[in-house]
Structure 1
Amino acid sequence: MTGDRPAPVGMPHTRSSLAVDLRDLGVRPGGTLLVHATLRSVGRVLGDSRAVVEALLDVLGPDGTLVVPTHTPHNTDPASWINPPVFERHWPAIREQMPPFDPVISPSRWMGALAEQVRTWPGAMRSNHPQVSFAALGPAAEAIVGGHARTAMLGETSPLARLYERDADVLLLGAGHGSNTSLHLAEYRQPAPPTERVGSAVRAAGGGQEFVWWTDVVLDESDFERLGAEFDGTGAVRTGRVGNAACRLMRQRAAVDFAVDWITRNR
């Protein structure tokens, strides 16, 4: 029935309109930008995630570098799985048969459509960490994602530390501080952070698969929203909208330095 047709809506967001929003928010041409995005919050976009990536690249320009998290949290020890857990008797078989991480073909999980769009973009580079890889586009991509050591996975040998050195910005595009991965770098900068044994499937030296273990810092984002709310209150965060999405833009160094002190005082 024609009377059941939805009411028409306005013009969708476009590559050019999103670029205007990003410039107004303060994204720096020629800068390095780590983006955490929930594209659903942006609203209807002509071109979907492709148009959002193109808008980001338009604003960053040829000298800028775009970085996204492309983590693979499913490539972990089944003993730690809780959603849902698996019987202990299955753990050895899962470890033996889990596909090894491959930076070219392993999809990210729970990182969103933007991260996957960047990961598969022509010319994108991805770090070789089996759990917490990052992908980057731009002239600084190799310097940021190269040499991502397995241990201290979000610490001083990670892309997060390379971003800190480059005075990068962080854009939370419709996402909250709970997704602000850079705050984990502050956990590594505590005097004696708690550690745990973690494992992942990787490619063996002679081909095939092996499950490897290492000791790393216990990552805990449970208080990042509270931490972030206090950081917002310092005035160091720019807020605005990109499309329909509420956004925060900040210098990564400022956020990490604040978090180092906050975690020291509050944990």
Structure 2
Amino acid sequence: MDERYMISNVRLSHDLAALGLGTGQVVLLHSSLSSIGHLVGGARTAVEALRDRLGHDGTCAAPTGTAANSDTSPHYRAAVAAMTAREVVRHRATMPAYDTETTPSQDMGRIAEHLRLLPGAVRSAHPLTSFAAIGPQAKCITDGHARDCLLGERSPLARLYDADALILLLGVGYDRCTAFHLAEYRYTDTPPRRTYRAVVDDGRGREWCEFEDVDLDAGDFAALGADFDQTGVVRRGKVGRAEARLFSLTAAVDFATDWFASHRSPQERRTL
């Protein structure tokens, strides 16, 4: 690889500072490592640059959700689509149980997974929509993630809202903006609901849990984000080669709450 195209920790830190990331902030990160370019040190360098910018008083969080341990997820439906009934039974019996300490995050990116594995990082206990965080507010953010509350008022998203956190979209679009889901709990008193199931291992052995919660739908997040982008509160720039956006989580959730109220019917059933 030609060194002219390699991106260093120093370059990344400079770009993050130019975007507005600074000491003591609380940040929820959504990221794509490959979009940054050829980053020397990979995910480790990306996390180091973020933590350097935030300093000892800053906190970084990221979604570390899992789907392979649920039989009510799109991941499961795709996996069993061509199976016989007997094969489905065997598959379900061998699905990996969620363990807060050891289960890797899925489809959340290498940067989020590296953050999860850092010494001192903590992770919420939800078997489907966990978050990992590191920094002085990490425990406050991740504690108390209720099993029957995927991304609502008893989830890390609500704690991040209370902490006036920022959202950093690093090489990803608004369709990946998990915080918009919090608005799905707020835009109406009667949001659509459905049943979720997951297999967990909380130290007492393998068991299935079942609960009802809001029927989450990210299908209109890109359109929502395009409108939010026009509000003037989003800082945009390049971090490495990645397009990046930095904005207030509170502003995003409040905007999304109003947007859903005018663009969604509370009685619509979702398909996720």
Unaligned 5+ segments in structure 2 are: 265-272
Partner of residue 77 from structure 2, selected from 82, 104, 107:
82
Shift in Å, 1:166: 0.4
Q: For 1:34 and 1:78, how far apart are their aligned partners in 2?
A: 26
Partner of residue 233 from structure 1, selected from 230, 233, 238:
230
Q: For 2:89 and 2:21, how far apart are their aligned partners in 1?
A: 47
Shift in Å, 1:94: 3.7
Judging changes above 3 Å, is the alpha-carbon distance between structure 1 residues 194 and 41 closer, same or farther for their aligned structure 2 residues?
same
Q: For 1:217 and 1:78, how far apart are their aligned partners in 2?
A: 14
Partner of residue 65 from structure 2, selected from 71, 80, 83:
71
Partner of residue 44 from structure 2, selected from 41, 50, 57:
50
Match status 1:200 vs 2:195: no
Q: Secondary structure at the match of 2:103?
A: coil
For residue 248 of structure 1, what is the aligned residue in structure 2?
245
Judging changes above 3 Å, is the alpha-carbon distance between structure 1 residues 26 and 155 closer, same or farther for their aligned structure 2 residues?
same
Unaligned 5+ segments in structure 1 are: 1-5
Partner of residue 174 from structure 2, selected from 166, 172, 177:
177
Q: For 1:11 and 1:91, how far apart are their aligned partners in 2?
A: 47
Match status 1:220 vs 2:214: no
For residue 3 of structure 1, what is the aligned residue in structure 2?
none
Judging changes above 3 Å, is the alpha-carbon distance between structure 1 residues 91 and 213 closer, same or farther for their aligned structure 2 residues?
farther
Q: For 1:255 and 1:58, how far apart are their aligned partners in 2?
A: 25
Q: For 2:73 and 2:255, how far apart are their aligned partners in 1?
A: 34
For residue 270 of structure 2, what is the aligned residue in structure 1?
none
Q: Secondary structure at the match of 1:74?
A: coil
Give the total of aligned pairs: 260
Match status 1:266 vs 2:260: no
Q: Secondary structure at the match of 1:20?
A: helix
CA deviation profile, 1:176-214 (whole Å, cap 9, x unmatched): 000000000000112211000010001267x21011100
Amino acid paired to 1:38:
S
Q: For 1:114 and 1:203, how far apart are their aligned partners in 2?
A: 25
Identity score, percent: 45
Asked if structure 2 preserves the Cα contact closer than 8 Å seen for 1:127 and 1:133, the reply is yes
Q: Secondary structure at the match of 1:233?
A: helix
Shift in Å, 1:85: 3.6
- Tell me the TM-score normalized by structure 2: 0.91
- Tell me the TM-score normalized by structure 1: 0.93
Amino acid paired to 1:252:
L
Shift in Å, 1:97: 3.0
Q: Secondary structure at the match of 1:83?
A: helix
Q: For 1:13 and 1:79, how far apart are their aligned partners in 2?
A: 37
CA deviation profile, 1:119-166 (whole Å, cap 9, x unmatched): 111111001110010000101010000111111210000000000000
Match status 1:146 vs 2:143: yes
Q: Secondary structure at the match of 1:104?
A: coil
What's the RMSD between the two structures over aligned residues?
1.6
CA deviation profile, 1:204-260 (whole Å, cap 9, x unmatched): 67x210111000111100110000000000111100010000011010000000000
